[in-house]
């Protein structure tokens, strides 16, 4: 009974919003002659498009391609970002030398690099993964550097006094200590990954949900365009949820010790 009540408390607003949207958009669409209505379809048609495309397998194939690109791109970004970030964060000389360049690189809007990458490397899925990785690596790398720098000197003293070997120190002390910052960087990268994924697919692609959006828009099919856009939003949302779950588990000590 309690979970039902909690469920209703969570769900009543979204349900009402959807109903309002459904009814209002249906009424407006049938009563107007505004040419813009092509791209402002009623929710009922958007739903219809979803059912059709899902049944044909078209939606699934494109969604899968996009998800694959995001996840692989993020994986590369995490590995490179943490590895390089750890190296730079641990070396005062490296930090002082590279800081201006790192600050410059992170300020370049990563989306602006997409045309160059696709122009140089082509329309296939691999260049997209590079584009996503290059865009996503900066928040992770810079956060890793900050996380490493912020490690308490008392912890450094302890590892020195007890003669910790370097591999042990890195794996059991340095990385866990920097993990809260690293996770914050990854969280930012998630948003960037979705954006770069869509942009790269709109710009030049033969598959993917971004490609799908652009293709349907080109055919003036409003409901399909909207449906795919909503799917992108859903992808972003689900990725955040999944990440939150991972963060809750790995950083349980961090959240609980803060109380």
Partner 1 sequence: MAIVDTAPAQREKADTRLIVKDLGKTYVTGKDAHEIFRGVELDVEPGSIVSVVGPSGVGKTTLLRCLAGLLPATTGTISVGGRMVTGPVPEMGVVFQDYSRSLLPWMHSRENVALPLESKGVRKAERNRIAEEALAAVGLEGAGHKYPWQMSGGMQQRVAIARAIAYQADILLMDEPFASVDAQTRFDLEDLALDLRRRLGVSIVLVTHDIDEAVYLADQVVVLSGKPASVVDLVEVDLGTERDQLTTKSLPAFTEARSRVLRQIRR
Q: Does 155 bind partner 1 (CB under 8 A)?
A: yes
Q: Which is nearer to partner 1, 106 or 255 (CB)?
A: 255
Counting Cα atoms < 13 Å in the Cβ hemisphere of 209 gives 27
Q: Which is nearer to partner 1, 64 or 157 (CB)?
A: 157
Neighbours of 63 (CB within 10 A): 20
Closest Cα to residue 85, out of 132, 168, 147, 135? Answer: 147
Which segment (23-31, 88-96, 112-120, 160-168) binds partner 1 by CB under 8 A? 160-168
Give Cα separations from 157 to 2, 94, 149, 163, 164 (angstroms).
51, 22, 14, 10, 10
Q: Give the integer Cα–Cα distance in Å for 204 and 124.
A: 9
Q: Which is nearer to partner 1, 111 or 151 (CB)?
A: 151
Q: Which of 58, 150, 157, 170 forms a contact with partner 1 (CB under 8 A)?
A: 157
Smallest distance from partner 1 to CB 159, Å = 8
Per-residue x/- mask for partner 1, residues 179 to 218, rule CB under 8 A?
A: x---------------------------------------
Q: Does 248 bind partner 1 (CB under 8 A)?
A: no
Closest Cα to residue 144, out of 188, 184, 189? Answer: 184
Q: Which residues contact 76 (CB under 8 A, 6 or more apart)?
A: 129, 130, 133, 137
Q: Does 172 bind partner 1 (CB under 8 A)?
A: yes
Closest Cα to residue 200, out of 190, 188, 187, 210? Answer: 210
Which segment (16-24, 28-36, 163-171, 219-227) binds partner 1 by CB under 8 A? 163-171
Per-residue x/- mask for partner 1, residues 46 to 65, rule CB under 8 A?
A: --------------------
The C-alpha angle 173, 175, 180, rounded to 5 degrees, equals 110
Q: Which is nearer to partner 1, 95 or 169 (CB)?
A: 169
Q: Does 83 bind partner 1 (CB under 8 A)?
A: no
Q: Give the integer Cα–Cα distance in Å for 246 and 216.
A: 35
Smallest distance from partner 1 to CB 150, Å = 13
Q: Give the integer Cα–Cα distance in Å for 64 and 36.
A: 31
Which residue in this structure is represented by tokens 């107007």? 32
Q: Does 150 bind partner 1 (CB under 8 A)?
A: no
Q: Which is nearer to partner 1, 18 or 171 (CB)?
A: 171
Q: Footprint of partner 1 on this chain (CB under 8 A)?
A: 152, 154-155, 157-158, 160-165, 168, 172-173, 176-177, 179, 253-254, 256-257
């Amino acid at each position: 009974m309690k979970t039902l009540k909690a469920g209703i408390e969570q769900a009543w607003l979204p349900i009402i919003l959807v109903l309002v949207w459904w009814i209002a958009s249906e009424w407006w669409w049938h009563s107007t002659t505004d040419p813009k209505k092509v791209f402002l379809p009623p929710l009922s048609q958007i739903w219809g498009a979803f059912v059709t495309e899902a049944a044909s397998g078209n939606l699934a194939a494109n969604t899968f391609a996009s998800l694959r690109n995001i996840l692989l791109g993020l994986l590369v970004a995490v590995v490179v970002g943490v590895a390089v970030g750890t190296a730079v964060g641990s070396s005062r000389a490296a930090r002082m030398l590279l800081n201006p360049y790192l600050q410059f690189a992170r300020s370049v809007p990563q989306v602006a690099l997409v045309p160059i990458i696709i122009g140089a490397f082509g329309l296939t899925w691999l260049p997209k993964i590079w584009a996503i990785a290059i865009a996503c690596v900066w928040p992770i790398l810079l956060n890793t550097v900050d996380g490493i720098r912020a490690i308490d000197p008392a912890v450094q003293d302890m590892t020195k006094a007890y003669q910790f070997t370097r591999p042990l120190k890195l794996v059991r002390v340095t990385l866990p200590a920097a993990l809260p910052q690293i996770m914050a960087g990854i969280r930012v990268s998630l948003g960037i990954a979705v954006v770069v994924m869509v942009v790269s697919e709109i710009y030049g692609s033969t598959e993917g949900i971004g490609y799908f959006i652009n293709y349907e828009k080109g055919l003036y099919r409003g409901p399909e365009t909207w449906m795919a856009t909503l799917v992108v939003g859903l992808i972003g949302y689900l990725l955040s949820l999944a990440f939150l779950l991972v963060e809750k588990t790995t950083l349980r000590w961090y959240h609980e010790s803060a109380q």
